[in-house]
């Protein structure tokens, strides 16, 4: 039986630990808070993040990182993106030299603009051992065993295959590709469009506005990803369009919820303090716009989201229909 460690006991970390355990692996979760670890261990529940969900008996938890990582063949990272580097430095001494390291995170590091796999590599993990997982994966739906799919991506196809095998069960299917850039950026960028959709919803705009944002947003994020080497087919697949639809359309999406609160007039500070979980899109706006500027890429929808966040644009002025020159053929 494969022994797997998952660092992070929030909704996504716990859900993916369940996916892996239901796939037949022995799973240990590292939790920052003792009460979370104790509840998972003693009652097979994580009521703070997954209320009403029963967790498998082959899923344990501890606040002792060394204990969680001992003997792990695969290590899955589900911590907030801005805390990844610090958590990796705590964990690195306990990660086996041949263990696969898998990012479940959808963020960009502030200050460096690095994708999560790049941060992992900078912290001493060989790129051939790194994989990323992304797709239309709303945690609570998966925890309820509603069927869905995801993509495991690695420059090493054997690593992607090993991760896909571990992360497949009767309700969760994982496909593979080798487009790490596209898979990661798809997960990051759709959050920013979901914030824009949430803002429009919070303001009270209807389906036309939201459909315009999603459609033009896909064009925007596809152009960005392609400029950094992503394959076009990735952005039209599970890690791109699939994740975009799920995140933009569901009230379970943290980024959609954050945008809706902004659209209702709450300040950025109020939104952060109100939400129990991290909305990665909020912290990714600035580094993504910096990366776009470095390549000369226009990202008008993401720019408008940034302006709402810094208070320079009224949410009611969100204008996806002005995101491109009207004389430019649609799709260019």
Q: pLDDT (tens digit, 9 = 90+) per residue, 243-274? A: 999 989 888 888 888 899 999 998 888 887 77
What pLDDT does 329 receive? 54
Secondary structure element (H or E) that encloses residue 324, with its range? none
Cβ atoms within 10 Å, residue 279: 22
Q: Where are the domains of the chain?
A: 3-178, 181-322
CA 2 to chain centre: 24
Instruction: Note the pLDDT of residue 321.
Output: 62
Residues 51-79 pLDDT 10s:
999 999 999 999 999 999 999 999 999 99
**Residues in the chain, overall count:** 332
- pLDDT for 252 equals 82
Integer angstrom CA distances of residue 9 from 29, 61, 251: 6, 9, 21
Question: Distance between CA atoms of 68 and 27, rounded to whole angstroms?
Answer: 9
CA 117 to chain centre: 12
The class of domain 181-322 in CATH terms is mainly alpha
Q: What is the pLDDT of residue 166?
A: 98
Q: What is the DSSP string of 182-211?
A: HHHHHHHHHHHHHHHHHHHHHHT--HHHHH
Q: Are 160 and 14 in contact (CB under 8 A)?
A: no
- Counts of helices then strands in the chain (DSSP H, E): 15, 8
Q: Say which residues have a Cβ less than 8 Å from residue 42's Cβ, sequence separation at least 6.
A: none
User: Is 106 an active-site residue?
Assistant: no
User: For position 328, what pLDDT does the model report?
Assistant: 54
CATH architecture of 3-178: 3-Layer(aba) Sandwich (3.40)
Which residue is catalytic, options 57, 190, 210, 231?
190
- What stretch of H or E contains 318? none
Give the per-residue pLDDT at 327: 47
Q: Point out the residues of the chain with pLDDT beneath 50.
A: 326-327, 332
Residue 233, CA atoms < 13 Å, CB-side half-sphere: 5
Query: What is the rounded distance in angstroms from the CA atom of residue 291 to the CA atom of residue 239?
Result: 20
CA distances from 55 to 28, 39, 52, 60 (A): 12, 11, 10, 9
């Amino acid at each position: 039986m494969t022994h797997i460690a998952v660092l992070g006991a929030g909704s996504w970390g716990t859900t993916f630990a369940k996916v892996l355990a239901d796939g037949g692996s022995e799973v240990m979760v590292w939790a920052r808070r003792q009460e979370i670890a104790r509840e998972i261990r003693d009652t097979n529940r994580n009521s703070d993040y997954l209320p009403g969900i029963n967790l498998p008996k082959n899923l344990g938890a501890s606040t002792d990182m060394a204990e969680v990582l001992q003997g792990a063949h695969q290590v899955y990272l589900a911590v907030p993106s801005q805390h990844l580097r610090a958590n990796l430095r705590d964990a690195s001494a306990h990660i086996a030299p041949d263990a696969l390291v898998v990012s479940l995170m959808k963020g960009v590091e502030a200050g460096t603009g690095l994708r999560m796999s790049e941060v992992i590599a900078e912290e001493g993990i060989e790129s051939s051992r790194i994989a990323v997982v992304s797709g239309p994966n709303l945690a609570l739906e998966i925890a309820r065993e509603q069927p869905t799919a995801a993509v495991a991506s690695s420059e090493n196809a054997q690593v992607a295959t090993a991760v896909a095998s571990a992360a497949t069960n009767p309700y969760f299917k994982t496909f593979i590709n080798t487009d790490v850039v596209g898979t990661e950026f798809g997960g990051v960028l759709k959050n920013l469009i979901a914030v824009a959709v949430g803002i429009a919803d919070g303001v009270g705009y209807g389906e036309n506005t939201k459909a315009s944002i999603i459609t033009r947003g896909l064009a925007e994020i596809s152009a960005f990803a392609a400029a950094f080497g992503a394959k076009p087919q990735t952005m039209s697949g599970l890690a791109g369009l699939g994740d975009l639809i799920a995140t933009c359309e569901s009230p379970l999406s943290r980024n959609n919820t954050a945008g809706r609160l902004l659209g209702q007039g709450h300040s950025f500070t109020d939104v952060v303090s109100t939400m129990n979980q991290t909305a990665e899109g909020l912290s990714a706006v600035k580094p993504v716009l910096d990366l776009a500027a470095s390549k000369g890429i226009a990202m008008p929808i993401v720019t408008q989201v940034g302006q709402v966040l810094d208070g320079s644009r009224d949410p009611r002025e969100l204008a996806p229909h002005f995101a491109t020159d009207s004389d430019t053929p649609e799709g260019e």
